């Protein structure tokens, strides 16, 4: 795909060359939807399809996170292709040298007793006049694995888990002959983790215990059944076709979950009257019940206002600049 690049922050040539290097295998067929696209919020999916020129213009500075993720994925793929490296890792986990002989990378005809490892293979499947494609990171002994470079906040709050489950389920739907496990194994690399992060979050009880002790760690999440996955795909395609010609004001808005709004950051504030700008003493609570209890101590008078948490997803959306919902959230001061 041909992109038009801008350089509004005037990054130097070495950075621009690195950031503009794109090895993604784009598919120009009009009826192709990748698993990655399919799990995006429906509003973003429709607006992107309606404004194809928008996705073809990008500033090089906006490619930093994407290229870091691509570099990590490439390195992980190469790591499995290095037998010496695999052997050293196996020894670290207490495996004998004989185990190495059972590991087969991308085998066409796996034999009984082999440990099959499939790396970065793209598969496609036709359904309802569409072609769904997906390139998994790794299948190890029947379990799909995915490497995710993300912020520590996202890991703590689980903002991406729903998408990881959907993506992993689609991979299993596409590769049911290879993926036999009912779990997706996510390997996190936390881009902004610090050793002192626990101290930083010590003022926030809901964060303190969950702050990770290391910059890299793994979690497993349950996948949907093949039937549930296909039903979700069929419904998503129906929604896509239904709204494709609709004006923006008729499109469904992104939900708080899709916007990565954390319930932990939501607040309910009690005011003696709606014209006040400062909540009553002790009137800020994390739940409506807490605010109502406080209101009762104030003689039952006053109003309670809900202040939802900041929105973090819009900053990663390719159509943020033209999205009316994003513009409204920006005007409300909610974009993080």
- pLDDT per position as a tens digit, 25-58: 888 899 999 999 999 999 999 999 999 887 677 8
Q: Check residue 202 and give its pLDDT.
A: 47
| 167 lies in the same domain as 293 | no
Higher-confidence position of 333 and 165: 165
Let me know whether 264 and 185 are in one domain. no
* Structural domain for 290, as ranges: 257-331
Asked if residue 315 and residue 203 are part of one domain, the reply reads: no
pLDDT digits (tens, 9 = 90+) for 185-218: 999 999 999 988 766 654 555 444 578 999 999 9
Mean pLDDT of the region 222-227:
98
Domain boundary at 201, 224, 249, which?
Answer: 249
- The pLDDT of residue 208: 47
**pLDDT per residue as tens digits for the range 119-142:** 989 999 999 999 999 999 999 989
- Same domain assignment for residues 152 and 283: no
5 within some domain = no
Residue ending a domain, among 193, 227, 249, is 249
Q: What mean pLDDT comes out for the span 100-105?
A: 88
Both 245 and 308 in one domain: the answer is no
- Average confidence score pLDDT of the chain: 91
pLDDT at residue 198, rounded to an integer: 62
Question: Which tens digit of pLDDT belongs to each residue from 76-99?
Answer: 889 998 989 999 999 999 988 888
Helix/strand/coil for 307 = strand
User: For residue 65, is pLDDT > 90?
Assistant: no
What totals of helices (H) and strands (E) does the chain contain, helices first?
13, 14
The 8 Å CB, 24+ separation contacts for 232-237 are 232/166, 232/169, 233/38, 233/127, 233/132, 233/170, 233/173, 234/127, 234/128, 236/38, 236/42, 237/33, 237/127, 237/128, 237/130
């Amino acid at each position: 795909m041909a992109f038009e690049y801008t350089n509004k922050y005037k990054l130097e040539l070495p950075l621009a060359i690195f950031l503009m290097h794109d090895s993604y295998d784009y598919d120009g067929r009009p009826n192709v939807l990748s698993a990655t696209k399919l799990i995006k919020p429906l509003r973003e999916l429709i607006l992107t399809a309606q404004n194809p020129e928008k996705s073809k213009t990008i500033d090089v500075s906006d490619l930093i996170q994407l290229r870091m993720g691509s570099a990590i994925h490439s390195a992980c793929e190469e790591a499995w292709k290095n037998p010496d490296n695999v052997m050293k890792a196996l020894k670290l986990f207490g495996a004998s040298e004989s185990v190495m002989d059972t590991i087969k990378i991308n085998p066409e005809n796996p034999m009984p007793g082999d440990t099959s490892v499939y790396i970065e293979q793209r598969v496609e499947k036709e359904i309802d006049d569409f072609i769904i494609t997906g390139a998994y990171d790794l299948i190890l002994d029947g379990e799909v694995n995915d490497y995710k470079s993300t912020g520590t906040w996202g890991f703590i709050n689980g903002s991406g888990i729903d998408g990881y489950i959907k993506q992993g389920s689609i991979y299993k739907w596409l590769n049911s002959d290879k993926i036999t496990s009912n779990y997706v194994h996510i390997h996190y690399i936390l881009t902004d983790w610090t050793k002192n992060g626990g101290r930083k979050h010590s003022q926030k009880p809901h964060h303190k215990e969950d702050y990770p002790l290391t910059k890299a760690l793994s979690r497993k999440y349950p996948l949907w059944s093949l039937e549930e996955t296909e039903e979700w795909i069929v419904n998503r395609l129906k929604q896509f076709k239904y709204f494709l010609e609709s004006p923006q004001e008729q499109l469904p808005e992104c939900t708080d979950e899709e916007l990565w709004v954390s319930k932990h950051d939501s607040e309910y504030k009690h005011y003696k009257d709606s014209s006040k700008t400062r909540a009553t003493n002790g009137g800020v609570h994390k739940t409506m019940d807490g605010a109502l209890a406080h209101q009762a101590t104030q003689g039952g008078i006053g109003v309670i206002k809900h202040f939802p948490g900041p929105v973090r997803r819009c900053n990663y959306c390719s159509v943020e600049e033209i999205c009316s919902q994003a513009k409204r959230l920006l005007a409300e001061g909610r974009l993080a």
